[in-house]
Amino acid sequence: MARELSEVGVVGLGTMGAGIAEVFARAGLSVTAVEVDDTALARGRGHVEHSTGRAVKRGKLDPTERDAIFERIRFTTSMEDLSQAELVVEAVPERMELKTEVFAALDKICPPDTILATNTSSLSVTELSVATGRPNKVVGMHFFNPAPVMKLVEVIRTVVTEPSVVDDVEALADRLGKVDVTVGDRAGFIANALLFGYLNHAVSMYENRYASREDLDAAMRLGCGLPMGPLALMDLIGIDTAYEILDTMYRQSRNRLHAPAPIIKQMMTAGLLGRKVGRGFYTYAEPDSAEVVPDAHTPAPGSAAAGARPVQRVGVVGSGTMATGIVEVLALAGYDVRFVARAPEKVDAVTAALTRNLDKQVLRGKVAEGDRDAALARVAGTTSLDELADRDLVVEAVVESLPVKEALFAALGEITRPGTVLATTTSSLPVIRCAQASGRPGSVVGMHFFNPTQVMRLVEVVSTIATDAEAAATAHAVCERLGKHAVACTDRAGFIVNALLFPYLNDAVRMLEANYATADDIDAAMKVGCGYPMGPFELLDVVGLDVALAIERELYVEFREPGFAPAPLLEHLVTAGYLGRKTGRGFRVHTAR
């Protein structure tokens, strides 16, 4: 049976350590909070005052509760004051030599049964434990910032940590109101191992000028529903902190995807550490501010749509959910829309689906009856590609097959006028192949909409090496009229969103495959610890394991990066017919399809 701990300590009162001390005190524990000197101690107390003061202002904490929190915390500069602690959490800077020094000191001061915990986010807990004479009493207790708000705690056991110690820490996490996931001692644990590979990949994209920082961040916020874009998150974490975590993970794993992008080291050397100093990937109004100040790198509003060709008549080829959604948003935006389906019954099916969708929006109060009727009047269906000859823009939304798309673009190149912009909605296939097939590559652009098109605001506008500026500007202008946020990128596998999302999902599958953690714990870590709307395995089951495998294969073939090679477990599941929700079985069993 787990012990009920009452006397705890925290060493190191930076933002994280002060937050941990506050969490303990809020839960009714007696806390001894230690810093190296009076200046650091005052700064640490200030962190707690600021955090609790803000909670009081927001009505989430009563003034009497705040006072009780401070009554439970003893601020001191003497490690000797921890002599009665039942558990001590170390939260000093992420340097092995400093942490081992603290653990060696605590080992001499604390009673033999005191649990020594480290809040490290990436360093080896095992290596820290051997700095003491009680490695069996050492455990990782990784809180997430800000500790009073974030619900996740990763509990890290080493090969010699006593089971009773893990039980005690898990019970404490539950008492604190936290969600705990317990894992073994491995670089990055769950959350950071998955998060920082993704962040590093995004930084590399920016460093290689594949996309702007604004477009990278917007793509992941709007395309994946993430609370922050990767570069803004790097600034929040701290460029120096990110470098140390990545470097530690790389030294332990030798995974090239964790080798810090060179620009991270350069920014760290230049003192561009993120929000805490007022400048990182973005410039902030002042240190620790979230307000971004526009600078020379910020694109002028509307600049991407300058030079666009006029568009009034739009064609859509396809009859699936994506094609129907595109027809709907185009019609609501006032375009004359003509769609092409393979057979008369497909034309009828699209028309019926479009009518149902618009009727639902009227019932929900999102579309007026008059606007619905006007939109439907702007739409006509046909089975003949020849009826697209007068279109200013044609958007292809057919099956994700390169031979099918190439044949379609060859036909469109002959049918449509020379000035017509031709767009493909492909999510992973090379746009240049469609462009070459059309015979007029300068007029071809990618317009990758996200499903459901009526809801998702993001469109990736993809320019090939042959796309002319007018065609790209036209796509941006159409997106603006649709109320979509267009991000610009060039033609390479995965574009922005899929190129960042699917390696992260693949890493999660590899983690499961290695029996490091369960699918439930990995999902919980990413949702609770990182604020993701879905865990990786929930998302894979929704996307479809076969779709994920196809995209990951495209990424691997294009980039030849060993870390992008699809995890064998994913391949095996697809081979066995476990495709996710659509088949009722993927990483989990789904009772209703």
Instruction: Answer yes or no: are the C-beta atoms of 548 and 540 closer than 8 Å.
Output: yes
| DSSP label at residue 235 | H
Q: Nearest 5°: phi and psi at 28? A: 90, 5
Tell me the CB-side half-sphere exposure of residue 349, using CA atoms within 13 A.
Answer: 13
Q: State yes or no: is 145 an active-site residue.
A: no
Q: State yes or no: is 401 an active-site residue.
A: no
CA dihedral sign of residues 210, 243, 169, 133: positive
Q: CB burial class (10 A; 0-12, 13-18, 19+) of residue 392?
A: buried
Strand 313-317 versus strand 458-463 pairing type = unpaired
Diameter of the chain by CA atoms? 85
Instruction: Answer yes or no: are the C-beta atoms of 188 and 245 closer than 8 Å.
Output: yes
Catalytic residue (choose from 124, 192, 427, 506): 192
Q: Nearest 5°: phi and psi at 418? A: -55, -30
Return the bridge partners of 245, or none: none
Q: State yes or no: is 192 an active-site residue.
A: yes
The Cα–Cα gap between 91 and 82 comes to 15
Catalytic residue (choose from 90, 94, 154, 244): 154
The Cα–Cα gap between 414 and 457 comes to 32
Tell me which residue has tokens 């990949």. 201
For helices 191-207 and 213-224, give the axis angle rounded to 10 degrees: 140
What element of type H or E holds 174?
A: helix 163-175
What element of type H or E holds 184?
A: strand 179-184
Q: Nearest 5°: phi and psi at 202? A: -65, -40
The Cα–Cα gap between 522 and 588 comes to 13
* Count of beta carbons in the 10 Å neighbourhood of residue 284: 19
Catalytic residue (choose from 119, 121, 438, 506): 121
Catalytic residue (choose from 30, 124, 129, 142): 142
Report how far Cα 67 is from the mean position of its chain's Cα atoms: 37
Q: State yes or no: is 154 an active-site residue.
A: yes
87-90: strand order across its sheet? 73-76, 30-34, 7-11, 87-90, 115-118, 138-143, 152-157, 179-184
Instruction: Answer yes or no: are the C-beta atoms of 141 and 89 closer than 8 Å.
Output: yes
* Of 542, 521, 447, residue with least CA distance to 225: 542
The Cα–Cα gap between 481 and 337 comes to 14
Instruction: Answer yes or no: are the C-beta atoms of 231 and 213 closer than 8 Å.
Output: yes
The Cα–Cα gap between 333 and 411 comes to 27
Show which residues are catalytic. 121, 142, 154, 192
